[in-house]
């Protein structure tokens, strides 16, 4: 056994029902005096509650999916103009992504308060979109110094979005099994993350007010993101980054649709990863376990339902082939990527 594993330095405060208290304590302990609060307009009421009593220097609500470069530039200008000494992101992956874009250029630290299961809060991965292309990279400056998890903040997340967001987290688990820096530590974290999501997400569908289920989903989202941050982006994430940048598709739903197809594609060539995934689902095979979960969740299945044009299949396959990481368990070709994307576009059963 021989591998190199990086563990990212980060504090996690997990306290259901006490996000405001945990955030206040973190700000006080660190001595921050000019927080910039980043929250989309539809999260403003929640953000006001969570930040009550804090010396907020400026509020910023221009949050757009996939973090367009011009949106990031305006947010950086706001941070500089108000001399922000900490960024408080309250929301999902797009909100955290915008905070990361600011931190990447300014070095201002981030405290993340997630309201979805995106997992971006636990990674040092940033992404920016410009001219229909999404660029991503890693930088320690964008890793939030602290994450405040409060399952009560996810209660207003609709069931459909909870499902898509949770499956986005599950994609981190599965991709971490065969990503460029996959190792036994990542695989263990990813396996436990998948186990928690497989348990928590059906509970949320059965009862959206089930805080225990939402706590399990948050736990799974965190474990999956930590595994992904260390293992790197595998085939699944390269596909979704290409699709999101080219067609401005909804992030979570795109991940949810693509995941079963990548699993079916790679699993036969990665038997140990497939065994771990099957064990996490307590299923006879990885594909059977994922299919059972998707049926229980009534998960999204077709890219065409989310705005991808049929004419985009071939150019997307070419872009994925150019961006795909080396070392994928199965050899990639233009033909098999076209077949994978067409099946995902049409909503066919994974092959």
CA 256 to chain CA centroid, nearest Å: 11
Shared domain check, 277 and 259: yes
Shared domain check, 313 and 179: yes
Assign residue 45 the CATH number of its domain.
Answer: 3.40.50.1970
Instruction: Compute the average pLDDT of residues 117-125.
Output: 93
pLDDT higher than 90, residue 89: yes
Shared domain check, 171 and 80: no
In a domain, 4, yes or no: no
CB 144 within 8 A of CB 121: yes
Shared domain check, 126 and 94: yes
Per the structure, the complete domain to which residue 29 belongs is given by 11-154
Shared domain check, 222 and 90: no
pLDDT of residue 231: 92
In a domain, 320, yes or no: yes
Shared domain check, 222 and 128: no
pLDDT of residue 131: 85
pLDDT higher than 90, residue 209: yes
197-206, 246-255, 260-269, 287-296, range with the lowest pLDDT: 246-255
pLDDT higher than 90, residue 330: yes
Shared domain check, 283 and 180: yes
In a domain, 5, yes or no: no
Percent of the chain with pLDDT over 70: 100
pLDDT per position as a tens digit, 303-314: 999 999 999 999
pLDDT of residue 65: 87
CB 260 within 8 A of CB 348: no
Distance CA 234, CA 232 (A): 6
Question: With bands split at pLDDT 50, 70 and 90, how would you rate the model's confidence at 132?
Answer: confident
The values of phi and psi at residue 131, to 5°, are 55, 45
pLDDT of residue 251: 87
Shared domain check, 179 and 148: no
In a domain, 289, yes or no: yes
Of the chain, the end-to-end C-alpha distance in Å amounts to: 33
Distance CA 55, CA 45 (A): 17
Instruction: Compute the average pLDDT of residues 55-71.
Output: 94
Task: Tell me how far apart the 2 most distant CA atoms of the chain are, in Å.
Answer: 58
Where is the domain boundary, 135, 154, 173? 154
pLDDT per position as a tens digit, 170-204: 999 999 999 999 999 999 999 999 999 999 999 99
In a domain, 148, yes or no: yes
Count the domains in the chain.
2
pLDDT higher than 90, residue 21: yes
Instruction: Compute the average pLDDT of residues 70-84.
Output: 97
Where is the domain boundary, 104, 120, 154? 154
3-state secondary structure labels for all residues of the chain: CCCCCCCCCCEEEECCCCHHHHHHHHHHHHCCCCEEEECCHHHHHHHHHHCCCCCCCEEECCCCCCCEHHHHHHHHHHHHHCCCCEEEEEECHHHHHHHHHHHHHHCCCEEEEECCCCCHHHCCEEEEEECCEEEEEECHHHCCCEEEECHHHHCCCCHHHHHHHHHHHHHHHHHHCCCCCCCHHHHHHHHHHHHHHHHHHHHHHHCCCCHHHHHHHHHHHHHHHHHHHHHCCCHHHHHHHHHHHHHCCCHHHHHHHHHHHHHHHHHHHCHHHHHHHHHHHCCCCHHHHHHHHHHHHCCCCCHHHHCCCHHHHHHHHHHHHHHCCCCCCCCCCHHHHHHHHHHHHHCCCCC
Assign residue 279 the CATH number of its domain.
Answer: 1.20.1090.10
Instruction: Compute the average pLDDT of residues 6-11.
Output: 92
pLDDT higher than 90, residue 135: no
Percent of the chain with pLDDT over 90: 90
Shared domain check, 39 and 112: yes
Where is the domain boundary, 154, 188, 211? 154
In a domain, 1, yes or no: no
Shared domain check, 171 and 134: no
Shared domain check, 340 and 221: yes
pLDDT higher than 90, residue 116: yes
pLDDT of residue 247: 93
Instruction: Compute the average pLDDT of residues 93-104.
Output: 96
Pick from 215, 222, 187: nearest CA to 201: 215
In a domain, 176, yes or no: yes
pLDDT higher than 90, residue 328: yes
Instruction: Compute the average pLDDT of residues 211-235.
Output: 95
Question: With bands split at pLDDT 50, 70 and 90, how would you rate the model's confidence at 229?
Answer: very high
Task: Output the six-digit token pair for 301.
Answer: 């299945």
Shared domain check, 169 and 149: no
Distance CA 191, CA 260 (A): 16
Distance CA 303, CA 345 (A): 4
In a domain, 190, yes or no: yes
pLDDT higher than 90, residue 136: no
């Amino acid at each position: 056994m021989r591998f190199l594993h990086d563990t990212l330095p980060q504090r996690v405060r997990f306290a259901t029902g006490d996000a405001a208290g945990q955030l206040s304590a973190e700000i006080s302990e660190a001595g921050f005096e000019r927080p910039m609060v980043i929250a989309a307009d539809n999260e403003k009421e929640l953000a006001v509650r969570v930040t009550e009593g804090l010396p907020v220097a400026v509020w910023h609500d221009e949050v757009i999916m996939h973090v367009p470069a011009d949106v990031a530039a305006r947010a950086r200008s706001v941070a500089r103009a108000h001399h922000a000494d900490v960024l408080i992101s309250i929301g999902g992956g797009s909100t955290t992504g915008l905070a990361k874009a600011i931190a990447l250029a300014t070095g201002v630290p981030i405290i993340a308060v997630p309201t979805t299961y995106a997992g971006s809060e636990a990674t040092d991965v940033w992404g920016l979109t410009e001219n229909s292309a999404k660029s991503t990279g890693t930088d320690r400056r964008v890793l939030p110094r602290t994450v405040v998890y409060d399952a009560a903040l996810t209660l207003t997340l609709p069931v459909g979005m909870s499902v898509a967001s949770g499956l986005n987290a599950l994609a981190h688990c599965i991709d971490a099994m065969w990503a460029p820096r996959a190792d036994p530590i990542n695989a263990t974290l990813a396996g436990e993350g998948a186990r928690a999501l497989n348990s928590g997400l059906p509970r949320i569908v059965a009862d959206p007010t089930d805080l225990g289920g939402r706590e399990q989903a948050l736990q799974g989202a965190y474990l999956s993101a930590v595994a992904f941050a260390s293992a790197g982006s595998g085939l699944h994430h390269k596909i979704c980054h290409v699709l999101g940048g080219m067609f401005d598709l909804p992030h979570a739903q795109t991940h949810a649709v693509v995941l079963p197809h990548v699993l079916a594609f790679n699993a036969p060539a990665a038997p140990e990863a497939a065994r771990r995934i099957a064990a996490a689902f307590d299923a006879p095979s990885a594909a059977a376990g994922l299919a059972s979960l998707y049926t229980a969740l009534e998960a999204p299945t077709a890219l065409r339902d989310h705005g991808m044009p049929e004419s985009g299949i071939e150019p997307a396959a070419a872009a994925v082939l150019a961006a795909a990481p080396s070392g994928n368990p199965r050899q990639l070709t233009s033909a098999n990527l076209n077949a994978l994307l067409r099946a995902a576009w049409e909503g066919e059963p994974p092959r």
